[in-house]
């Protein structure tokens, strides 16, 4: 194999590598943005669950069933927030790895 062919093949591989790194970086950015929006929704759910609990207490016995639902909503929101944090952490690790590969 000629040196020219080898260089051409290597260049093609590098071009694909750079393209895929850019694509992966863009995908990670989208994941981070979506996770940020979901965290915002979870925060609003927590506030709504808290407000529902307050209203349940205000209404008394008539709102007992609603209070159970409000409490569960708060738990779901908390679990969602924890998952969003894990997703963000994983995306950040991938992003860091891509950045290291890109700087080689």
Is the separation of the CB atoms in 15 and 9 below 8 Å?
no
Task: Check residue 83 and give its pLDDT.
Answer: 92
User: What's the CATH code of the domain at 83?
Assistant: 1.10.287.950
Is the separation of the CB atoms in 102 and 21 below 8 Å?
yes
- Give the integer Cα–Cα distance in Å for 24 and 16: 12
- Residue pLDDT tens, the chain, 104 long: 566 766 888 888 888 888 888 899 999 999 999 999 998 998 898 898 888 888 888 888 887 787 888 888 888 888 998 999 999 999 999 989 988 887 87
- Give the integer Cα–Cα distance in Å for 29 and 14: 22
**Whole-structure pTM value:** 0.70
Neighbours of 70 (CB within 10 A): 20
As for how many domains the chain has, the answer is: 1
The domain of 98 spans 3-102
């Amino acid at each position: 194999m000629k040196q020219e062919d080898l260089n051409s093949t290597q260049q093609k591989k590098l071009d694909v590598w750079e393209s895929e790194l850019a694509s992966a970086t863009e995908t990670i950015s989208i994941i981070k943005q979506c996770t940020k929006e979901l965290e915002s929704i979870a925060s609003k759910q927590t506030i709504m669950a808290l407000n529902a609990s307050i209203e349940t207490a205000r209404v008394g016995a008539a709102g007992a069933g609603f209070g159970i639902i409000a409490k569960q909503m708060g738990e779901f929101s908390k679990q969602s927030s924890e998952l969003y944090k894990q997703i963000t952490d994983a995306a950040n690790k991938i992003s860091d790895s891509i950045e290291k590969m890109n700087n080689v």
